[in-house]
Structure 1
């Protein structure tokens, strides 16, 4: 099987010859692209353009790199997952609830952060946003103070909205090597180191502009999974569509949790 670098090199050559919008057919194994060809076959069945294939492969390469960030962790030591909710998006809501269940399924103990009272109506108000971040960060420090991080074999941070900034800041302050799942991150989140992170964003999210999030994620080499027409909860308003989105998201989350 070809490496990502070999496949991307082949795609660049084909784009020069045939153009970025030329249709090819990719082979996939467990959702991972393994090869492509110019005509459909028993192995190469998924129709795509060269530019779409290039983008998906690049995302896939970054995803695997993020998944492998803690590859050297002691597999015999306890594993801890910490949930950092949003202000209104609590740990019992779908994205956090099901991610926590997946983490528990794969051997993680679960710790949930609670922020207490925070300023209201912070959207679009930078002063209130800063105040909320500082208060929540202070409460997070108090709640997690007693954890011996050095005893953990693997650390997973699961965060939502403002929680993505709080978790990233905490990992930076304490020099923790964590794998991190960022649900609907704010622009402020990308001011921190984000190695070992993956992110999910809805293109109709009123809290973060898509082009900006894409550019920031690219700068930090964070794999970014976009949900078309998804709001700040990665929902569209259509129940069946939203259930399908949740299933796809959890498939990606589980693969990230268990790899490498």
Structure 2
């Protein structure tokens, strides 16, 4: 990527800021083990820069004991870590559009908070492997709109639950796991990444 991020910190949480001098911004929330260097988030970052967005990668880290909480409390923990950065960035420029991209754990604050609130700017939401097995996640996704990608070998995949989410742009990948890859099928996994990014680009344009 030609644009190198500035490593910043706000409210005790680090974030990477790619400044495209844009009036559009993309906020990214990683998973617990799926970091911004992993294929989908790395190339999603590159795509958003290609589309002319500033990009903010929130670099939170949590104590494993915090994941012993109820799912709603975990979601609130992630939101409380990320939202001060989101609010701060939105206050620094007159942004006209925002995109929120989350992977796994990072989809929780998007689904439970950002998609439920009235946004100060028009927003799109991208959910990579959301935790559909959680009842409150399903409840908060109904009659909303997002780009949602999940594999049929993901433990959170549910055909029945996805059938209830017809208002979303769904990318369902056969045999893909929670990383949206197929184990021991490297080329196929790269093709999956390409297909998802092509779909995401079309969704955002």
Is TM (by shorter chain) over 0.5? Answer: yes
What is the correspondence of 1:1-260 to structure 2 with a 5 Å cutoff? 78-119=23-64, 122=67, 127-148=69-90, 151-172=94-115, 174-176=117-119, 177-187=122-132, 188-192=136-140, 195-206=144-155, 208-218=156-166, 221-237=167-183, 238-257=185-204, 259=205
Aligned to 2:8: none
Aligned to 1:57: none
Structure 1 residue 111, shift from structure 2 partner:
0.5
Q: Distance in 2 between the 1:163 and 1:255 partners?
A: 22
Structure 1 residue 170, shift from structure 2 partner:
3.3
Structure 1 residue 217, shift from structure 2 partner:
1.6
Deviations 1:163-189, CA, capped at 9 Å, x for gaps: 112123332464113111111111243
Is residue 202–residue 231 contact of structure 1 (8 Å, CA) maintained in 2? Answer: yes
Q: Secondary structure at the match of 2:165?
A: helix
Structure 1 residue 82, shift from structure 2 partner:
0.5
Distance 1:98 1:168, change over 3 A: same
Q: Secondary structure at the match of 1:201?
A: strand
Distance 1:190 1:142, change over 3 A: same
Q: Distance in 2 between the 1:136 and 1:172 partners?
A: 15
Q: Distance in 1 between the 2:80 and 2:145 partners?
A: 24
TM-score (norm 2): 0.76
Q: Distance in 2 between the 1:236 and 1:107 partners?
A: 31
Runs of 5+ unmatched residues, structure 2: 1-21
Q: Distance in 1 between the 2:52 and 2:77 partners?
A: 31
Is residue 27–residue 86 contact of structure 2 (8 Å, CA) maintained in 1? Answer: no
TM-score (norm 1): 0.61
Q: Secondary structure at the match of 1:151?
A: coil
Q: Distance in 2 between the 1:224 and 1:160 partners?
A: 15
Is residue 151–residue 157 contact of structure 2 (8 Å, CA) maintained in 1? Answer: no
Q: Distance in 2 between the 1:248 and 1:157 partners?
A: 20
Is residue 118–residue 132 contact of structure 1 (8 Å, CA) maintained in 2? Answer: no
Distance 1:121 1:216, change over 3 A: farther
Deviations 1:228-251, CA, capped at 9 Å, x for gaps: 000001111110110111111111
Number of aligned residue pairs: give it.
177
Indicate the RMSD between aligned Cα atoms, in angstroms: 2.5
**Structure ID, larger Rg:** 1
Runs of 5+ unmatched residues, structure 1: 1-76
Deviating 4+ runs (over 6 angstroms): none
